[in-house]
Structures are given as structure tokens and as C-alpha cells.
Amino acid sequence: MLSGAHSGDVLQVDLHAAFGGTEFGVGPDFPNLQQVGQAFFASDFSSSGVFYFVPEATDESPIPHDTSPARGFQGIVTADVIVDAVPRSLEFLVELGFSETGPNSVSYGNNLEDILRLEQRLRFFGYPEADGNSLDVDGFMDTDTQWAISLFESAHAHTPHDPQVEKVRRDFVNSADAVHWTELTASPGFQILPSVSRGPQPERWATDRAAELMRSAGLSLSQSSSSTLALRSASPAQGGDSGFHTNELNGAHDAGLDLDFETPSTNDSATPFFATREINGQRYIDPGNGDLVFYQPGVGYFAAQENTYSLNDAVRVEISAGSTDPRSAWNNRPVLLGIRPFLRDNLGGGYRVDDVRAQIMALLSAAPSGGAHVEVIHYNDPRTWTADRNFNWDGDGLSGPVQFRSNLSGIFHAEVAPSVHDMTLSQVHVDEIVAGLDGHDDLFTHGGLSTPLPSIGESFSQMNVSSANEPVFQNMTSTYYSLARLVTRRVGI
């Protein structure tokens, strides 16, 4: 029995190594193997006996002989082959998961085996083609494979999706902590809203980190509040730019880490989150008790009876779109901060700040076992701004876990922390890394195999680098390459 294969792997089969022989073919029962996956033959299969078995990595349709409800095929399957005109039988054991190291891990290179392993892993993790369908494992580095690679990279680093990417970080794709792409489902305390046209929500896909976090936050919310997290949008099935979020930052919602939650308010000023009063066709902030909120230079914001001061000094909902006037509240952080003590809920519009605070606290406090957490929430009700996770609701909207962002008044926007963060290095560390790389460059450029390697302490001759320990040399080279990427990409030199 051939073991060691997993649902997210590609298994190289060498008939010559297994049976000897010089001429190879397939038997009448070989299609058994192709019922639970695919087989790709080396160009010289008839003389080398080498082919690649790719187990089914999704659950899109029933899989014969599957012994587990988990994703992809798991079980035992047999296949007939011909070795020197003699029928032989192969038996494969496929287990759940994927290989982080060893011959079945995703490897460097652009040959058939390398691309098959990469595509199979991305398919197992759920990363789709550009049309949102499961990635086809075919051994070609085509536009669909590049799309899935870029989505995988974006989902790990929270960067805008770039469909031209051709390389994947092997330390991501071979990691047990690799992020998966998944369709979201409702759970206690968490619902997925239909689209604005009342059809199915087209942006209901995200990373499994985001999904796990929402399940955890929703469950907590359901046990402590009557409020519910109502998802307005995550990401489209294919990831990348959906075109729906022109009021948000570039790359928002590209990679399943940006989540919009609905509130009874609106993003424009039609239904604000605060109470208002209309006077002579103008809407003003209504702090209650017959008062209005006024602003005077040198005094600031204060509440007083309507007829006490000129209406020209009263704070309006919105004087004009984008106004920075100290008497125009909408989308104006300094004004919202100044009038915070005077705001009352727009109960007529169904808005209750306590409900929104409960949702925000559930998201920011969620700590699922996988380590996912919300990095920051953007929302414009100043009564939800908080300087820290003690939730004193005293933030200034510029820093802290809940911050202001223009045009986010009807929804609040949560950013799930990526699994990979940029590093900040001191100049001393930068200088040390650059010096080390310069040393290696000098060594490889000018020879000197008897010279001790920087940071290693041994020379190549002492290490006896040969074909027998070539993997060691490759690992060293990969380490130096990673250091170079770390310096150039994350430090910016």
C-alpha cells in the first residue's frame, strides 16, 4: 500500500521503484483511481513508470469510496498497472490534510509536478479561479492559477489582489496555519443579509479566520444581548475587487478580511444615527428638552434652548456634502467628537447605540482558538469610538480599536488581522542584515569555498556540500533569499 498521501497533496508514483521493470502501462481497473482524483503521466511514462496521483480536494460532488465527511477524498483506492506486460495492483491510502514538509509539500519550480502540487494545495484550501469556481488542477500556470495564487497571498498579508502574481510564499502554503477560503454561513448571533436588490448576498465569502471569528463573536452576542451581527458584505466568491466599495480603501474586501455590518443608519445623511429636529426645512442636532446644539468660536459646543442663539450658530446634520464647517456634523470627525455628549439615538429610525456597541464589543473581544482577531473597526458614531479595549467609549476617532472613516455611518467596517504582519526593524538590524547579505554575495561572486559562511561559521568544504546533502544547501539558499525579501519588501531599502 502506498501511504503518506493527503487530500491536499500530489503523490508521485514510480512504478519502476515499486516493481522494477522497463515498460509500463495502465490496466483495465486504472479508472478506479480517476474516480477519486486525477492521474497525470510523465512524458516518458511508458519507460519511466512515473505518474502523479491528485486526490479530489473538494466536496462539490459525491466521491466514490470516500470514508470521511471532511473536505476532499479520504480512503483506500486500488488501480491496476502493467509492468513488463505483467498486471500489477496498486493500493493508495489517502488521509485528511496536507504535507507541510517532505516530498509531497509544495515545491519550488515550474515543471508539471511543481505546478500540480501548488494548484492542488490551493484547491484544497478553497481558493478559486477568476470566475469563482474551484481551481482546476491541470499543471498549467495560466491566468486562473495566477488569480488563485494572488488571492491566497492577499488573504495572508491583507494586500490588494493582483491577478498577475505568479509566485506563492511557500512558508504560507506549507504551513498548518495556512488560511482557507470559505463560504460563510449563518450561526447563532450572526446573519448574512441579502443583497440590496433582495437577491442572494454576492459577497458572502471570506477567510476561515474571519468565519471563525464571526461564529465566536455571534455566539457571545447571542448569549449576552438581543442584538445580532448582520453582515452586509465580505468578499465575492472569486475574491478581488467587486466594484461595490468605491467609498472604501483600495483593496478593501479583496481577500476575505474586510467585513461590513449593517446598522439602522445610512451611509448618507438621509437616516442619521442621532436624533434630529427640522426647522424651516433644515435639520439640526436634537439633544432633547427643546434644546439645539450650538457652536461659537472660543466657546465650542453647547446645548441651549432653540431661541436663545441664532440658528446660524446651530449645528446642522449636513450643510453640504463634504463640508468641514464646524456647524456641519455629517462625515465631519471634529464636529462629531465635539457634539458627542449631546447626541441621542434616532429611535424613529430604529437606531440604538447600545446595540451597536454590543456588536462591536463582541467582535473586538472574540478570541477563537485559531487566533483570529479584529484589528480595527471603522464607524462614524462617536459614541462607539474607544481608545482601548476597556470600552470606555472615550476615543477621539483617530486611534484605538474603533476609529472614524468618512462615509461609514450606515455600516461599520471590521478588519480582521492577517496572519502575516509587516515587521519594523531598527536601523541597526537593517545594517546587520545588509552586511550579512553583502558577505554572502562576495562569497558567491569571488569564490572562497574555504571561507567560513557569515552567520554559519563553517565553510562549504567543511560542510561537504554535495548531491547527498543538496537539500541542506537549498534550504540555506532559501533562507538567504527570504532575508533579502524581508529587507527589500518590509524595510524598503
Ordered DSSP codes for 130-174: TTSSBPP-SS---HHHHHHHHHHHHHHHT----TT-----HHHHT
Asked whether residue 287 falls in the same domain as residue 432, the answer is no
Looking at residue 470, its pLDDT comes to 46
Domain span including residue 432: 427-491
Q: Is residue 132 part of a domain?
A: yes
pLDDT in tens, the chain (493 residues): 666 789 999 999 999 999 999 999 999 888 888 889 999 999 999 999 999 999 999 988 888 888 888 999 999 988 899 999 999 998 889 999 999 999 999 988 889 999 999 999 999 999 999 999 999 999 999 999 999 999 999 999 888 898 887 778 878 899 999 999 999 999 999 999 998 888 899 999 999 999 999 999 999 999 998 899 999 999 999 998 877 776 667 778 899 999 999 999 999 999 999 999 999 999 999 999 999 999 999 999 999 999 999 999 999 999 999 899 999 999 999 999 999 999 999 999 999 999 999 999 999 999 898 889 999 999 999 999 999 999 999 999 999 999 999 888 999 999 999 886 555 566 776 677 777 666 665 655 555 555 565 555 555 455 554 444 444 444 554 444 445 444 443 333 3
User: Which residues are CB-contacts of 487 (< 8 A; sequence separation ≥ 6)?
Assistant: 430, 433, 434, 437, 493
Pairing of strands 402-403, 374-378: parallel
Asked whether residue 121 falls in the same domain as residue 76, the answer is no
End residue of a domain, out of 148, 173, 198: 173
Looking up cell 450561526 gives 187
Asked whether residue 14 falls in the same domain as residue 86, the answer is yes
Q: Is residue 167 part of a domain?
A: yes
Asked whether residue 411 falls in the same domain as residue 388, the answer is yes
Asked whether residue 22 falls in the same domain as residue 158, the answer is no
Q: Is residue 133 part of a domain?
A: yes
CA angle 464, 467, 471 (to 5 degrees): 90
End residue of a domain, out of 285, 312, 344: 344
Q: Is residue 104 part of a domain?
A: no
Looking at residue 465, its pLDDT comes to 45
Asked whether residue 291 falls in the same domain as residue 338, the answer is yes
Asked whether residue 30 falls in the same domain as residue 8, the answer is yes
pTM to 2 decimal places: 0.82
End residue of a domain, out of 95, 125, 146: 95
Measured distance CA(417)–CA(413) in Å, rounded: 13
Asked whether residue 358 falls in the same domain as residue 257, the answer is yes
Asked whether residue 321 falls in the same domain as residue 238, the answer is no
Measured distance CA(341)–CA(288) in Å, rounded: 12
Asked whether residue 362 falls in the same domain as residue 259, the answer is yes
What's the helix, strand, coil split of the chain in %, to 5?
30, 20, 50
How many folded domains does the chain comprise? 5
Q: Is residue 103 part of a domain?
A: no
The CATH number that applies at residue 216 is: 3.30.1380.10
Q: Is residue 154 part of a domain?
A: yes
Burial of residue 417, with CB atoms counted within 10 A of its CB: 0-12 exposed, 13-18 middle, 19 or more buried: middle
Q: Is residue 141 part of a domain?
A: yes
Asked whether residue 238 falls in the same domain as residue 307, the answer is no
Looking at residue 456, its pLDDT comes to 53
Is residue 454 within 8 Å of residue 436, measured between CB atoms?
yes
CB burial string 42-76: b at 16+ within 10 A, e below: beebeeebbbbbbbbbeeeeebeebeeeebbbbbe
Q: Is residue 100 part of a domain?
A: no
Measured distance CA(156)–CA(420) in Å, rounded: 6
Q: Per DSSP, what are the bridge partners of residue 325?
A: none
Asked whether residue 140 falls in the same domain as residue 48, the answer is no
Is residue 222 within 8 Å of residue 242, measured between CB atoms?
no
Q: Which amino acid is at 272?
A: P
Looking at residue 278, its pLDDT comes to 96
